[in-house]
Structure 1
Amino acid sequence: MTEKIKLALALLLVAAGLGAFYLLAEHAMVLRVLAVLVGIGAAVAIMLTTSMGQAAFAFSREALAEARKVVWPTRKETIQTTAAVFALVVVMGIFLWIVDAALLWGVQFLMGRS
């Protein structure tokens, strides 16, 4: 039960931060953004005291560890892959244009307009 109360409180804090953003419309943008960040920060602090929040934090930490293990492509590989994709798009575009023109001609022929 306390978990649900904490989650509801966290949601209310985020809503309060967003509400403050709009209520402070005539103030400086820095103050408005700070209100949102304070609301989100307080919500995160409360979320970390729940089991769901701790699980989400552990998941994000594991996801970052896995992202560090990824072997990212080199610049050369990226350019080659992009060029191959671009060439395939051009070839498929021309092919579909030819098919469309043939179908248009066929329909016009069948309707007796050619």
Structure 2
Amino acid sequence: MSVAIEGKQFRLDWLKWLVAALILGGAIYANMYYDDQSVLYRALGMIVAVAVAGFIAAQTAKGAALISLGIGARTELRKVVWPTKQERNQTTLIVVAVILLMSLILWGIDSLLSWGAAQIMG
């Protein structure tokens, strides 16, 4: 865990997880109970419930660790050097050419072995 997470005190994490689970469970029940209402209102209600439950879960140790992991992953993703369009196209063409070449070689070996088996078996 990061230093910021270790230094922070998390109290009553089990209660926070219970409240978040109850909110999600209530939202799912409400979505089924109000199935005659507009889908838009039910979807907005679910979005709000998930956001509130996520905020409560983020106040726990595991929630804070998950947020820290997400921030770290985003930082690492920004360090990736993506290929240019020309590099991507050239690599794709090389892969397609190698696949075609290997398929021809394997077809030839299969045909040769099939011919040999046919000669042996009559």
Normalised to the residue count of structure 2, the TM-score between the two structures is 0.75
Deviations 1:60-107 (A, max 9, x none): 111111111111111111111111111111112222222222222222
Q: Which residue does the alignment assign to 1:82?
A: 92
SS of equivalent to 1:72: coil
Ranges in structure 2 where 5+ consecutive residues have no aligned partner: 1-10
The alpha carbon displacement at 1:6 in A equals: 2.1
Specify which of 82, 88, 96 is matched with residue 72 of structure 1.
Answer: 82
Instruction: Give the count of matched residue pairs.
Output: 112
User: Compared with structure 1, are the counterparts of its residues 22 and 75 closer, same or farther at alpha carbon in structure 2 (3 Å cutoff)?
Assistant: farther
Once structures 1 and 2 are overlaid, which stretch shifts more, 9-18 or 92-101? 9-18
Is the CA contact (8 Å cut-off) linking 1:48 and 1:54 kept in structure 2? yes
Q: Distance in 1 between matches of 2:103 and 2:91?
A: 18
Structure 1: which 5+ runs fail to align? none
1:59 aligned to which of 66, 69, 75: 69
Quick one: distance in 1 between partners of 2:49 and 2:57?
Answer: 12
Question: Which residue pairs with 1:2 in the alignment?
Answer: 12
CA distance in 1, matches of 2:104, 2:34: 55
Using the aligned pairs only, state the percent identity: 32
